[in-house]
Chain A
Amino acid sequence: MKGIRGRLLEVDLTRGKTNDRPISDEMFEKYLGGRGLGARLLFDMLPLNTDPLSPENLLIFLTGPLTGTLVPGSSKFVVITKSPLTHGWCDSYSSGRLSVELKKVGYDGMVIRGKSNHPCYLRIDESGVDIRRADSIWGKDSFETERIMKQVEGNTSAGVTSIGPAGERLCKFASINSDLYRQAGRGGVGAVMGSKNFKAIVIKGTRKVEPHDREKLIELNRKNVERSRKSEVAQARMKYGTPLTLNITHFGGILPTKNFQFGTWEKALEKIDAEGVNRHVISHKACISCFMPCGLMTRVSKGKYRGSTIEGPEYETLSMFGSNQLIDLLPAIIRANVLCDKLGLDTISTGNVIGFAMECFEKGLISPAQAEGLEIRFGDSGASLAAIEMIANRQGLGDILAEGVRRAAEHIGGGSDRFAMHVKGMEFPGYEPRGAFGSALSYAVSPRGACHRRAWPPAKEILGDYPPYTVEGKAEMIRDLYDENCILHSLLVCDFHSKFIPLSLKDYSQYFQAVTGESLSERDLLTTAGRVETLIRMFNLREGLTRQDDTLPHRTLFEPLPDGPARGQSIGGENLSRMLDEYYESRGWDSSGVPTEQTLMKYQL
């Protein structure tokens, strides 16, 4: 099959050995790559009940069959592991030069196991693979690590990925950083890397990926560039980036506010929304392999945080560090974004857990003494920024918060678990589910915990024709959204082109054919999605997660939302139970969420 390399690099950090592992065309045909291939590899290669922070856990970096080509948005990669946050499946996505260089040096992915007895980094180029000492960069932040790595290599076009101090200290929501501003943020992949004494990866390849039909690829791109020019949606996205989402979540009543106590926040408008961010933009940026520059470089030009520069903040950061903490000072949010990226923290989980700490403090469940004198109140941006550093350094209260919101609530007690906003231990992202019931189901059944990447229900419930405050039809709606994203995340292409140009599964079938020379119908793709989602379910089941874990916090289930269009709404236990029953049935799983024999046979699992 064209486009793929047909081999993985296996690295054993305990023994200091590496070897190549062939991957057959059949595996790519059955699982595509990325999320799909990762599901097969993790299921087959990870020993049962592995401690996520033990040497036995696997850290799998994967590209997709379209990586390294001209297909728009194809410079993504995924990191797959068993999550230290949830003790279940974890796939965390990022993009950048690393994916392209990995493919150029001749691999579709890397499987890393073991633990080095000293800090190390992995260096790969055409001359071979080296595991090198990283003593001199251990303790450095991600920005500094990348700068040093490129300086050492004398090669600014090398792909570099690394962890910051938060990953080294095993913060349970530590990220892996690439190209300075890109994060594999969710699920604690950075902690798994840190647990292996594994600081960074540097890759430089020279062999370009040759597609099956280059002319066809160029023709498809020409057509789709033209479509994007005519699309109001694409034009708005390129101008405003993801902050545009905040305007809609506010008006739709699903903007998380004050640790998910409210669904709207008027003060966000023109301060931390699309217009507010736009006033700080210094340039627009596109990923490698993309013709849509939807990334925004922002800089604070005056005041206390002057000079803070970041690609972002994205919507998720604006909601979790802005409305969810009642902070309307954009320069402080930009600074928070810089700190999280440098220290190697997921901005979603970090913002969520700080919002939780603010509510605990205001309810008297955390004393200033426990917080090392910090009065961590809603609206206090200084306290929020201090908390980020305390988490990364595991200092005082930060050590508790670094365990994630579920474990923090267990430690703090006093009923705080009722407003610890997570599923399976992973913190809610920036959407209030009481204002769009499909989001509630999507969070509940997501195998990696509360997640906005499996599905984006507001597209249907706020911006589409699905009534938001009912459960009817939501199971099939979520299944279909999951399947579409599963395909995109297995091909490993950006979600956004399918929403904004918009590219359909048929368009991606054409791209797949142009790159690989193989035909896949839309039906084939959807069958693959069903297979992959079922296999990931099997992984979580064997690791001990059950229907009881497909649930939601007390606040979401039973506290009526007090404001906005969804005023008075809560999900309710019966509604969740009905949506779960219907979702499992739509997947061919039994009422406990276990795939039936018939379903396993259908998907050849």
Chain B
Amino acid sequence: MNVIINVIGPEITLKQEIDLELVSPTLRDVVRTLLGEHEGPWERIIRNDLSLAEGCVALVNGRNIMSLEGFETPIHEGDEITFSVIVAGG
């Protein structure tokens, strides 16, 4: 399945399409795969225990996973996952 990954932090990468060989995965499954198989600034965003680093959040299709099902949020074909530092203000 394909998902779209965005990373917004001291480095920004947008609209990275990633092909995952997963069936009915949760966000935890996706993150585990990203850490193991795909290059990225993951160590700045995700801790070894698969929790988010301090000051970082994850959105699935624009919704914070804290108001969804956290790392157990189901991920579907074409979903957009955004990892971001907590920005504020304008």
Interface residues of A (CB under 8 A from B): 231-233, 235-237, 239-240, 242, 244-245, 247-248, 251-253, 269-270, 274-275, 314-316, 319, 429-431, 452, 456, 458-459, 461-468, 495-496, 499-500, 564-566
B84 proximity list for chain A (CB < 8 A): 247-248, 251, 463
Is there contact, CB below 8 Å, between A245 and B89? yes
Q: Is B57 a contact partner of A242 (Cβ separation < 8 A)? A: no
Contact flags B38-78 to A (C-beta < 8 A → 1, else 0):
00000010000000011111010111101100000000000
Asked if B62 contacts A495 (CB within 8 A), the reply is: no
- Sample of 18 more A-B contacts, CB < 8 Å, known A236-B85, A430-B90, A462-B59: A232-B54, A233-B55, A235-B10, A237-B87, A247-B8, A247-B14, A251-B59, A253-B62, A275-B14, A429-B90, A463-B84, A463-B86, A463-B87, A464-B57, A465-B66, A467-B67, A565-B62, A565-B63
Instruction: Contact check, B64 vs A465: say whether CB atoms are below 8 A apart.
Output: yes
Roughly how many angstroms separate A383 CA and B64 CA in the complex, as a whole number?
38
Sampled A-B contacts (15; CB under 8 Å): A232-B54, A232-B56, A233-B85, A247-B84, A248-B82, A251-B62, A274-B12, A452-B89, A452-B90, A463-B57, A464-B64, A496-B88, A496-B89, A499-B86, A500-B88
Select A315's contact among B15, B82, B90, beta carbons within 8 Å.
B90
B residues sitting closer than 8 Å to A (CB atoms) are 6, 8-10, 12, 14-15, 44, 53-57, 59, 61-64, 66-67, 80, 82, 84-90
Contact between B55 and A466, CB atoms less than 8 A apart: no
Q: Which 8 A-B pairs have the closest CB atoms?
A: A565-B62, A315-B90, A465-B66, A499-B88, A233-B55, A467-B67, A316-B90, A233-B85
User: Chain A contacts of B53 at CB under 8 A?
Assistant: 232
Give min CB distance, A142 to chain B, whole Å. 22
Cα separation A232 to B44 with both chains bound (whole Å) = 8
Chain B residues positioned under 8 Å from A452 (CB to CB): 89-90
Partner of A232, one of B10, B66, B80: B10
Q: CA A466 – CA B14 in complex, angstroms? A: 25
Q: Give Cα A565–Cα B82 distance, bound, in whole angstroms.
A: 13
Task: Give chain A residues whose Cβ lies under 8 Å from the Cβ of B15.
Answer: 269
Nearest-neighbour CB distance to chain A for B78, whole angstroms, equals 14
CA distance A274 to B13 in the complex (A): 11
Evaluate contact between B87 and A245: CB separation under 8 angstroms: yes
- Smallest Cβ distance from B88 to chain A, in angstroms? 4
CA distance A275 to B7 in the complex (A): 12
Q: Which residues of B contact A231 (CB under 8 A)?
A: 55
**A452 → chain B, closest Cβ, in Å?**
6
Query: In whole angstroms, what is the CA distance A242 to B88 when docked?
Result: 8
Residues from chain A with a CB closer than 8 A to the CB of B67 are 465-468
Q: Are B55 and A232 in contact (CB under 8 A)?
A: yes
B residues near A461, Cβ cutoff 8 Å:
64
Tell me if A456 and B85 are in contact (CB < 8 A): no
Give which listed residue, A233, A239, A269, A564, contacts B86 with CB less than 8 A. Answer: A233
A316 to B89, CA, bound (A): 9
Chain A residues near B62: list those with CB within 8 A.
Answer: 251-253, 462, 564-566
Residues of A within 8 A of B12 (CB): 240, 247, 274-275
B89 touches A456 (CB 8 A): yes
Give CA–CA (A459, B89) in the complex, Å: 9
Q: Are B89 and A499 in contact (CB under 8 A)?
A: yes
Residue of B nearest to A565 (CB): B62
B81 CB to nearest chain A CB (Å): 10
In the complex, chain B residues whose CB is within 8 Å of the CB of A233: 55, 85-87
Q: Which residue of B lies closest to A462 (CB)?
A: B64
Asked if residues A456 and B6 are in contact (CB atoms below 8 Å), the reply is no
